[in-house]
């Protein structure tokens, strides 16, 4: 497994990241794996050289962090793994149990440290964005966590580009640690981050951690999009139904499938290989719920798509209308 430096930070990460949204409590989502089911997947990922594992306090209402903490503690040295988690989405009924106030940031990090069973988090990231955030307060509070040693690096997820820019330059102006990474929704049929966020991050040396590289299975073959071959997640994933399904999305999926057939690999591997080839991308996050998901993703790092293949994928893509944020 190739190891790369995450942007201009000193953090070294594997070219594939293991996402832990699918590990935790089945009562949260029917397709989520319990600890016994997740254990061989985590072990296989680590054995194959994946060192970056991404979770969130919101996943399975905290159970994902707890499960992951137990599995990592019994499998790998703490120094050999990069633990990333996220915060900011609603964690309870109180008005202050969400968002990016100093109050919630302090409470959220303590909760994640306790559930993960560690004394520090390697990469601590914002999650669902709140456009009303007081950016100065958030930047200062995150910097305080770094100073205290509770967090080593901070990152953002799906933040509007103009607020990302503002947060980065607020940190620079105050001499504070800023975002080391941006986690964002990105794949061959969802490319809106190419307009502003990705170029800015490349210019600033901010690491790019795209999630859903296979579009939640939409790019994994026609059997995953409809019919009896659908997985439990595909049948119950309302986000996938909202985000994907345009005629042009199907055309891109067909192009990926044709490339995969010609190469003797899976469409998912072509989708991941495409993301890996995009400028500035460091470690796509894969939501593995089967061993073959991990193995295919790692194998995809060795696939070098030809310029003609990349051009075919680009030609099939239809940009979405501009998405306006608050």
Residue 4: φ, ψ to 5°: -130, 155
CA 118/CA 116 separation, integer angstroms: 6
Looking at the chain, how many residues does it have? Answer: 326
How far does the chain reach from its first CA to its final CA, in angstroms? 40
CA distance 221 to 226: 10
What are the percentages of helix, strand and coil residues in the chain, rounded to 5?
Answer: 45, 15, 40
Judged by DSSP in three states, 288 sits in coil
Angle, alpha carbons 227-252-295 (nearest 5°):
70
**Residue 59 annotated as catalytic:** yes
* Residue 111 near residue 57, CB atoms below 8 Å: yes
The residues near 110 (Cβ < 8 Å, ≥ 6 apart) are: none
Q: In whole angstroms, what is the distance from residue 115 CA to residue 111 CA?
A: 6
Rg (CA), the chain: 19
- Which positions are annotated as active-site residues? 59
């Amino acid at each position: 497994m190739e190891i790369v430096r995450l942007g201009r930070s000193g953090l070294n990460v594997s070219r594939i990241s293991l996402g832990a949204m699918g590990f935790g409590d089945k009562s949260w989502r029917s397709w989520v794996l319990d600890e016994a089911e997740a254990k061989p997947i985590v072990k296989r990922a680590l054995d194959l050289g994946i060192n970056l594992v991404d979770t969130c306090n919101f996943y399975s209402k905290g159970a994902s962090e707890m499960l992951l903490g137990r599995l990592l503690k019994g499998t790998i040295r703490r120094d050999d793994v990069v633990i990333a988690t996220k915060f900011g989405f609603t964690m309870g009924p109180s008005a202050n149990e969400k968002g990016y106030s100093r109050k919630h940031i302090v409470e959220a990090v303590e909760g994640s440290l306790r559930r993960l069973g560690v004394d520090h988090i390697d990469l601590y990231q914002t999650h669902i964005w709140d456009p009303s955030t007081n950016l100065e307060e958030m930047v200062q509070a995150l910097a305080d966590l770094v100073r205290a040693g509770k967090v080593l690096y901070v990152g953002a997820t799906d933040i509007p580009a103009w607020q990302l820019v503002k947060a980065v330059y607020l940190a620079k102006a105050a001499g504070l640690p800023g975002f080391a990474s941006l986690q964002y929704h990105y794949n061959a049929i969802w490319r809106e981050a190419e307009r502003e966020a990705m170029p800015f991050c490349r210019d600033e040396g901010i690491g790019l951690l795209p999630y859903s590289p296979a579009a939640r299975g939409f790019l994994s073959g026609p059997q995953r999009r409809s019919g009896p071959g659908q997985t439990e997640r595909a049948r119950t994933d309302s986000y996938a139904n909202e985000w994907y399904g345009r005629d042009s999305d199907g055309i891109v999926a067909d192009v990926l499938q044709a490339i995969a057939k010609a190469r003797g690999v899976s469409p998912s591997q072509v989708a991941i290989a495409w993301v890996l080839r995009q400028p500035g991308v460091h470690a796509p996050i894969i939501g593995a719920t089967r061993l073959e998901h991990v193995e295919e993703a790692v194998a995809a790092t060795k696939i070098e798509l030809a310029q003609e293949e990349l051009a075919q994928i680009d030609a099939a893509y239809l940009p979405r209308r501009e998405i306006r944020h608050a």
